[in-house]
Amino acid sequence: MDHFMHPRNVGEIPDADGVGQVGNPVCVLSDTLIYGNSDIKEIERIAPGKRVLGHDGKYHEVSKTFINNYAGKIFNIRVHNLGSSSTTPEHHILAIKTSPYAHKFKAHKKLKPDWYRAEELEKGDMILYPIPKETQDIDSIEFDVPKPKWDFKSRDLPDRVPVNADFLRLAGYYLSEGYARTQKCKGTLGFVFHENEIAYLTDVIFIIKRLFGLEPSSIKNQHHACVLEFYSARLARFFEKLFGKGAANKSITHWAMLLPVEKQKELICGLWRGDGYLNNKTSKFVTISKQMAFQLRQLLLRQKMIFSFLTAKAHGMHEESYLIYIKEDASLKKLAGIVGDKIVRPPKMKSPIKSWFDDDYFYAPIRAIKLTDFKGKVYNLEVEGSHSYISSAMALHNCGDIMKMFIKVKDNIITDVKFQTFGCGAAIATSSMATEMIKGKSLDEALALTNKAVAESLGGLPAVKMHCSVLAEEAVQAAINDYLIKTTGKGLPGYKPHDESLHDEVHGH
Amino acid sequence: MKKIYLDYAATTPVEPKVVEAMRPYHSEKFGNPSSIHSYGQETRAAIEQAREKVARLIGAKPDEIVFTSGGTEADNMALEGVAFANETMGNHIITSSIEHPAVLECCRFLETRGFSVTYLPVDEFGVVSPESVRAAITEKTILVSIMHANNEIGTIQPIAEIAKEIGVRSSESGRKIYFHTDAVQTVGHIPANVDELGVDLLAVSAHKLYGPKGTGFLYVRKGTKLVSLIHGGSQEHNRRGSTENLTGIVGFGAAAEIAAREMGSEIKKMTPLRDKLIKDVLAKIPDTQLNGHPTLRLPNNVNFSINFIEGESILLNLDLEGIAASTGSACSSGTFEPSHVLKAIGLSYQLAHGSIRFSLGKHTTEAEIDQVVEVLDKVVKKLRAMSPLVKGGK
C-alpha cells in the first residue's frame, strides 16, 4: 500500500541512458501501408505532422512516431477483399467478432464493433474498414500554368477550368490512357485508345473542345490502337501537375478525392473506361500505379461498391501491377451504371453474405491469420483525435504506452531510475517497488529481478493483478535492452519484449 | 478518518426502519406464504401488503407485480419471457447499446436462439432518440427494451416519447409491440409511473432504494404474454415458482413506502449537491469533462472523464482517502477494456479509461462534496505527475 500511496522514483530522466516502453508493444511492420491525405505510404516513411486517415474516416495529424526493436510473434492477418497487414499480438484492430455465431449470418450485422487485439481475432471475424468521410466540393480550379513570355502563337486557354462531369471524366481518361510530354517545343497531351474504343476517343475530343477550345492536332492508327494528340505544352503541364505523368507515377490530386460522391462517379467512369474491363460475369481494373490503385479503392468505398484488391507481378518490364475486381451483383450493376455499359446478368445463386457496407464502414471477413516469429524493427504512430490509423487492410488503434522506465547507468551500475505509468494501482505499486529494488544494482542483478520478487516485497498481489506486476519487470528489461543497444549496438541476448511464458507462470499458481 | 460513501448507484444502505419492518419475519412470523394455516396466512398478508406498497410507488395494480430475486432476474424475465411467449408473432427485438448487462447479455443469448436484435446507437450524451426506435421497428418486432436511466452516466431516456412512437407503429400494424424499461436506477429516486411512461414491463431492484439485497420485481401490465422462466410452483400467479423471499419482500415494501414519501424532498436536496460537485470539479481540475447529459440526468449521478490517468488508480487512491466511488475502467485478468457505455457515447480509449462515477445518496452532505473535490484534485495531480501521457511531462 505504501508504494501505491507514495510511489518512489516517479518522473522522467531527460538524458536517460536507456528507456524502456512497455504495456502495449503495439506495432506493425515497416512496410505496412498507411493512408495519408493525398497518398499511401509505408509507415516507416511517415513523419510527425503528416495527416493520416483515422477509423472515423477523417484525416488527423500524426503527433509522434515510434520505432521499437521487437523479437516475438507477428500476426499476419489477411482480410477478404482488402489485403493483409502484419501486427504485434496486442495491436488493437477494429472488428466484430462473428466466430461465436459462425452460421448466423443475419445476426452478424447486429454485433457491436470493438477494438480487438490481433491475437484475439479468428478466421471469419469481420474487419471494419472506414469509408473516407471528408467531402469538399469545388466548382472550378485555376488554370495555373502561365503562358511563357516567348510564346506568341499558342492558343489562349481559359483562366479557370470548371470541375464538372466533363473535366472529371477527362481526368479519368488521362489517368488511365493519357500521357503528357512537357519538354520544350514538344509539349503534347496525348491519349491512346484501343481501336474498339473509338467512342471514348470521341468523348475526349468533344470534352477538350468544350473545356479548352482545342482541336486535336493528330489522330493516328498504330497497330490496334488509336493515338490522339493535342499540341499544347500548357495543357500537358496542367495535367502533369494534377495527376502526375508516366503510367507508374500517376495519382489523383487530393481535392478530387474529397469531391462529393456523386461527382466522383465521372472520375471512376473515365478511369474504368481506360484501364478497366467489364462484362456480364466480372469486372477488372489493372494499373501499375500503386498510388492510383489505392486511391481508386477509396473512391469505390465511397460508392459502397464491394471490390477485391490484388497485387500481382505483371509480365514485362514493370515490377508489380494492381488489380481490382468487382464481382458482387449490386456493385457490378452500380459500376455498369457509372461506366455507361448495359450489362444483363443472370441472377446468381444466393451465397452467404461475405462483405457488406453500413453508413460508416465496409465490413470484410478475415480470411487467414498466419503466425510468424519476427526479429527486427516495428513501427507505430500516435494520432491526434482519432487515435487510430488505416493500413491497406484494417483500422489500427494507437494505444499509447502504459509504462515507461528511464535508467541512468555508470560502470554497469544503475545509478538512477524513474518511471511513468498510465496504469492501475498494482502497476503503480509494482513499478515503484521495482525501481527501488534495482537502484544501485548492477545490470545483471536488475535483470534477475522477477515480478514474483516484486510482488512478494509488496506483501503479495491478488491473482487478477499479477499481470500488472509483469509490466514492471518488462519495463526494467526493456530499459536495459535499450541501453545495451545504444551503447554496444546489440540488445539483450534472447530478449523478448513481451514474454507470454511469464504470464503463464504468474497466472499458473 | 471519516469515510464518505458516494457509490449509491452500486447499492444503498438498508434504512433502519426497513430493518425493523423485516425483523419479525425471520423467526417470529416465518410461515410459508403458500401454507393455508394461520402461519401461512399471516405471511401471505405481509407479502400482499408489500406488493400493494411497491405497486403504489409506480402507479400499478398489485397483481401486476411479480417479485424476483433482483433487477437482473426481472430484466431476464421481461426479455426472455416476452420473446419466447411471442415467438410466433415475430423474432425482432430493439434495445440500446448502453443497456445494463442484464439486458444486453439477455439479448445476446436470444440471438443464439433465433431472435434478431437491433442495438440502437446513442448520441454524445447517451440519449436514445425516439425517431431511431420508430425507424428500427419492423413487422417482426415484438419487444423494445430501453432503460429508464443509465447506471453509469445517469442519462434519463425519453421513455414516454419512445412509448408513443411504439404505440403509433403498434396500432398502424395492428400488432402488439411490448415495451420494457429497466428502471433499476430510477424507481424511488425520480417519478416513474407506468402509465405516464407508457411501458408494459418495468424492472426494479430493492437494494438501490435503501431496501435489502436479493429482492426485485418486474411490473407486468395486464394482458402481457409472458412465459415463466422458473418452474416448480404456482407462486406469483404462476409466473415464478419458488417460495417467496419473505423478509426481502417485506423490506422492499417498507423501503418503497419510505421512498414514495421522501422522493420529492430528496430530489430537491440532491440536485444542487450534484450540480455543485460537477461545477467545482470542472472548475478546479483541468482536462476533465462531464459524461452524460448536463440536465437530463439522475439527481444523484455524476460521471467525469479525467484525462491522462486511469480510473482504477483514481478509485484506489480515493479509497485510501476514505472515499468510495466507481469507475468504467477495468483492469483485471489481463483485459484492459473500458465500459461499453463510455465507448457508445464516443469517448476515446484514453478518456473512457479515465472515468470516475460519484453517485450521491440521502446521507450525502455538502461538506462531503467539498471534501471530495479537494481530495480528487490532490489525487489527480499525483497521478498526472506519473502519467506518460501528460504533455511536457507535467
Indicate left, alpha or beta for A49 from its phi (over 0: left) and psi (-120 to 50: alpha): left
B312 plus B163 within the same structural domain: no
Spell out the per-residue pLDDT of chain A, length 509, in tens: 678 778 888 888 888 888 877 755 567 888 888 998 878 999 989 988 899 999 999 999 987 787 777 778 899 999 998 999 998 887 889 998 886 666 666 677 777 787 787 888 888 899 999 999 999 999 999 998 887 766 666 677 888 999 999 999 999 999 999 999 887 777 899 999 988 888 899 999 999 999 999 999 999 988 888 999 999 888 999 999 999 988 888 999 999 999 999 999 999 999 999 888 887 777 889 998 999 999 999 999 999 999 999 888 756 656 788 999 988 888 888 898 898 876 655 555 555 557 899 999 999 999 999 999 888 888 888 887 777 899 999 999 876 557 889 999 999 999 999 998 877 777 888 889 999 999 999 999 999 988 888 888 888 877 767 767 777 888 898 899 889 988 888 878 766 554 433 333 333 33
Interior angle at CA A190, CA A186 and CA A193, nearest 5: 150
**Cα–Cα distance for residue pair B196/B53, rounded to 1 Å:** 18
Q: How far is CA A103 from CA A362, B92, B104, in A?
A: 20, 18, 21
Report how far Cα B108 is from the mean position of its chain's Cα atoms: 19
**Cα–Cα distance for residue pair A293/B58, rounded to 1 Å:** 62
Touching B: A residues 361-400, CB under 8 Å: 387, 397, 399-400
All residues of chain A having their beta carbon less than 8 Å from the beta carbon of residue B349 are 115, 387, 397, 399
**Cα–Cα distance for residue pair B245/B298, rounded to 1 Å:** 29
**Cα–Cα distance for residue pair A189/A180, rounded to 1 Å:** 5
**Cα–Cα distance for residue pair A223/B227, rounded to 1 Å:** 79
Q: Report yes or no: A89 at the B interface, CB cutoff 8 Å.
A: no
Single residue among B258, B287, B308 that ends a domain in this structure: B258
Domains of chain A: 2-20+402-508 (3.90.1010.10), 25-133+360-397 (2.170.16.10), 140-338 (3.10.28.10)
**Cα–Cα distance for residue pair B265/B268, rounded to 1 Å:** 5
Binding-site residues from annotation of B: 71-72, 151, 185, 205-207, 243, 331
B152 plus B254 within the same structural domain: yes
B87 plus B233 within the same structural domain: yes
Report which residue type is found at A433. M
Indicate left, alpha or beta for A223 from its phi (over 0: left) and psi (-120 to 50: alpha): left
Q: Which residues share a beta bridge with B289?
A: B305
Supply A220's cell numbers: 493516328
B253 plus B283 within the same structural domain: no
Supply A303's cell numbers: 460508392
Interval A149-180: pLDDT, tens: 666 666 778 889 999 999 999 999 999 999 99
Say if strands A40-42 and A276-278 run parallel, antiparallel, or are unpaired: unpaired
Single residue among B258, B286, B303 that ends a domain in this structure: B258
DSSP helix/strand/coil, A117: strand
B272 plus B188 within the same structural domain: no
Give me the sign of the Cα torsion angle A199, A201, A204, A206.
negative
Query: Cα distance from B224 to chain A (closest Cα, Å)?
Result: 27
DSSP helix/strand/coil, A442: strand
B178 plus B216 within the same structural domain: yes
Q: Judge whether A447 and A480 are in contact, CB under 8 Å.
A: yes
Report which residue type is found at B263. M
A 10 A CB-CB count for A205 gives 17
Match 503503480 to its residue by C-alpha cell: A428
Beta strands in A239-303 (DSSP E): 276-278, 283-287
**Cα–Cα distance for residue pair A476/A466, rounded to 1 Å:** 16
Among B116, B329, B386, the residue with its CB nearest the CB of A107 is: B116
Supply B173's cell numbers: 400494424
Beta strands in B206-291 (DSSP E): 216-220, 288-290
Closest CA to A249 of A168, A319, A144, A175: A175
Q: Judge whether B362 and B368 are in contact, CB under 8 Å.
A: no
Among A404, A424, A467, the residue with its CB nearest the CB of B310 is: A424
Report which residue type is found at B65. I
Give me the sign of the Cα torsion angle A37, A42, A47, A53.
positive
Interval A444-473: pLDDT, tens: 999 998 888 888 888 887 776 776 777 788
Q: Which residue of B has its CA nearest to A109?
A: B118
Supply A65's cell numbers: 512516431
By residue range, what is the domain housing residue B293?
4-10+263-388
B393 belongs to a structural domain: no
What pLDDT, on a 0 to 100 scale, did the predictor assign at position B335? Answer: 47
B227 plus B295 within the same structural domain: no
- Taking an 8 Å cut-off on Cβ atoms, the answer to whether B343 and A114 are in contact is yes
pTM: 0.64
Single residue among B241, B258, B275 that ends a domain in this structure: B258
Q: Please, what is the end-to-end C-alpha distance for chain A in angstroms?
A: 23
**Cα–Cα distance for residue pair A350/A361, rounded to 1 Å:** 23
B216 belongs to a structural domain: yes
Report how far Cα B169 is from the mean position of its chain's Cα atoms: 27
Q: Judge whether A158 and A209 are in contact, CB under 8 Å.
A: no
Query: Which residues, including other chains, have CB under 8 Å from residue A152's CB and lie 6 or more apart?
Result: none
B267 plus B245 within the same structural domain: no
Supply B362's cell numbers: 440521502
H or E segment to which residue B17 belongs: helix B16-22
The domain that holds B51 is classified in CATH as 3.40.640.10
A 10 A CB-CB count for A85 gives 27
What pLDDT, on a 0 to 100 scale, did the predictor assign at position A507? Answer: 32
Half-sphere exposure in the Cβ direction for A320 (13 Å, CA): 10
- Taking an 8 Å cut-off on Cβ atoms, the answer to whether A425 and B348 are in contact is no
Interval B49-99: pLDDT, tens: 999 999 999 999 999 999 999 999 999 999 999 999 999 999 999 999 999
B154 plus B25 within the same structural domain: yes
Interval A46-78: pLDDT, tens: 988 899 999 999 999 987 787 777 778 899 999
